[in-house]
Amino acid sequence: MRLKMNLQNFTILFKIKKLFMENKSGCLLCGKEIIYLQTPEKSQCVFCKNEFNINEHCVDGHYICNKCHSSGAMDIIENYCLHTDSSNPIEMAITIMHHPSVKMHGPEHHFLMPAVMLTAFYNFTNQRELLMENLKKARERAELIPGGFCGSHGNCGAGVGAGIFISLITKATPLSNKEWQFSNLMTSKSLGVIALHGGPRCCKRNIYLSIIEAAKFVKENLNIEIPIDRNFTCDFNIYNKECLHKNCTFYKLNQTKK
C-alpha cells in the first residue's frame, strides 16, 4: 500500500513539474520556439511595454524582458496594467494569466480582477492619472482576501474584486450613499453569476464571469460602455483537472496542448 501511494504521489508530482517546465525553453507567453537574431532590433516587452534592444523573440514575435521574466504574480499584474493602453479587460486578463507566475488557481486572481477593470475604465475614460494610486489600493485590499475564500466563506475573491473596483472608481466609504450601494450591489451580482455557474471553483472562469458582469454593471449604472470581447474561449482548461468542460461557458472544444 505504501509503495502504491508513493508511486501515485510521484506520478502527480511529475505531472505538475511537467506543466511548469514546458515553457522553460520556449516563450513564456505562448510556449512557442525562441528564435535568435543575427542583428539586434528594438522590441517592446509584452508585459511592461518598455522598449529594449533584443537578440531573441519567439516565432510569434513575443518578447519578455528579464525583470518581467522573473517577477511574481502580483508585480506582473500591477506592472502590466500600469503600462498598457488597452481598454479590453478580457484581453488584458488572458495575457496576464499566461504568465507562468499566475497559477491556474490562486489568490493573485483576487487582485487581477479589479486591476484589469480599473485599467480598462481609466484608459477608456482618459483618466490614466488615477490609475497608479488606485491600483495600489486595489492590491492592498485584494491581499486581505485569502486563498480558498470561495469555499471557506462562500465569497469568491473575483466577486469581491468586482466590488473593490466599483468602490475605487466611485470613491465609496462605509458612510457613502449611492457609492456604498453600488459597491455592494456589484459584489452581489458578480457572486450571483459565479454561483449559478456551479462548482467546483475555477479561478479563470470566475475572472471571466466577474469581468463581464462588471462591464455590464458600469454600462447600466454609469452609462460607460467599456469594450469587452465576448467571443472568446478559454485555453487554460488543460491545466485544470476540475474543469467543467462542455458545461463551462468558455470551454474550448478539441483543444490541443501548445
Looking at residue 83, its pLDDT comes to 94
In a domain, 151, yes or no: yes
Do 118 and 243 reside in the same domain of the chain? Answer: yes
Do 110 and 38 reside in the same domain of the chain? Answer: no
Provide the CA 152 distance to its chain's centre, in angstroms: 22
In a domain, 134, yes or no: yes
Picking from 70, 85, 118, the residue at the C-terminal end of a domain is 70
Residue 239 to residues 67, 151, 168, 248: CA-CA distances in angstroms? Answer: 25, 20, 33, 15
In a domain, 242, yes or no: yes
Do 166 and 101 reside in the same domain of the chain? Answer: yes
Do 229 and 122 reside in the same domain of the chain? Answer: yes
Do 63 and 158 reside in the same domain of the chain? Answer: no
Do 116 and 145 reside in the same domain of the chain? Answer: yes
- 216 within 8 A of 193, measured Cβ to Cβ: no
- 73 within 8 A of 99, measured Cβ to Cβ: yes
Task: Give CA angle at 195 (189, 199), nearest 5°.
Answer: 155
Q: What element of type H or E holds 39?
A: strand 34-44
Do 147 and 117 reside in the same domain of the chain? Answer: yes
pTM of the prediction? 0.79
Count the domains in the chain. 2
Picking from 17, 43, 70, the residue at the C-terminal end of a domain is 70
Do 54 and 179 reside in the same domain of the chain? Answer: no
In a domain, 109, yes or no: yes
**Cα dihedral value 55, 56, 60, 66, nearest 10:** -110
- 79 within 8 A of 46, measured Cβ to Cβ: no
The range of the structural domain enclosing residue 53 comes to: 30-70
Give residue for cell 469594450: 227
- Tell me which residues of the chain have a pLDDT lower than 70: 1-25, 70, 253-258
pLDDT one-digit tens code per residue, 191-240 = 999 999 999 999 999 999 999 999 999 999 999 999 988 889 998 988 89
CA atoms within 13 A on the CB side of 78: 17
Residue 81 to residues 19, 46, 75, 118: CA-CA distances in angstroms? Answer: 26, 11, 10, 9
Alpha helix positions (H), 84-235: 89-97, 108-124, 131-142, 149-152, 157-170, 178-197, 203-222
59 phi and psi, to 5 degrees?
-65, -20
Do 63 and 126 reside in the same domain of the chain? Answer: no
Do 51 and 119 reside in the same domain of the chain? Answer: no
